[in-house]
Amino acid sequence: MFEERVTTYSPDETIALGEKVAKDLKKGDVIALEGGLGAGKTVFVKGLAKGLGVQDHFYVNSPTFVIIKEYQGRLDLYHFDVYRLNEEHFSDTLDYRRYFYGAGVTVIEWADKIKGLLPDEHLEVRITHTGETERQFEFRSHGVSADHMVGI
């Protein structure tokens, strides 16, 4: 299991961190984001999108009301926001397995709401708002093959 803590001091550093993590991602990887409102989850996803080669990565925004947005890049990015759902509603709403075990990278905001549905192998990223623009990132890999996901 891999565990690491990283602090960023601006939105640009958060994007750069996401971009750096994205360099080591491969198809089928799942990233579970946890953190309160305004913690920086979507900003981190912008960095992941940039690192995956999504052309308009600055336009990545939270799919709160549509649940999922898909972006094309080196690998497709499946961006979920499950803030308004629980495990039962999420599993009834869509065929999530198609994304979790698909040909792209899946990132889930508010993943703690669907913990029981996450694949055994995933990267957990807890983000804490520690200052006006300062964020603390805690990375924890779950499953042996998830260790490759953190290229920090």
What single letter denotes the amino acid at residue 3? Answer: E
Structure tokens at 58: 């600055």
The per-residue pLDDT for 145 is: 67
How far apart CA 75 and CA 93 sit, in angstroms, is 24
The per-residue pLDDT for 13 is: 98
Tell me the residue length of the chain: 152
Residue with tokens 């990887």: 29
Mean pLDDT per segment of 10 residues, for the chain of length 152 residues? 90 97 94 95 96 86 82 94 84 84 94 94 96 95 72 62
Tell me, which fold does domain 3-149 have in CATH? Rossmann fold (3.40.50)
What single letter denotes the amino acid at residue 151? Answer: G
CA 25 to chain centroid: 11
The per-residue pLDDT for 56 is: 83
Pick from 134, 147, 136, 80: which is nearest to 112 by CA? Answer: 80
Domain limits, the chain = 3-149
Largest CA distance in the chain: 39
Written as one string, the DSSP assignment of 44-68 is HHHHHHHHTT-TTGGG----TTTSE
The per-residue pLDDT for 152 is: 61
The per-residue pLDDT for 59 is: 79
The per-residue pLDDT for 22 is: 95
How far apart CA 42 and CA 50 sit, in angstroms, is 12
The answer to whether the pTM exceeds 0.85 is yes
DSSP 3-state percent helix, strand, coil across the chain (nearest 5) = 35, 25, 40
How far apart CA 146 and CA 127 sit, in angstroms, is 18
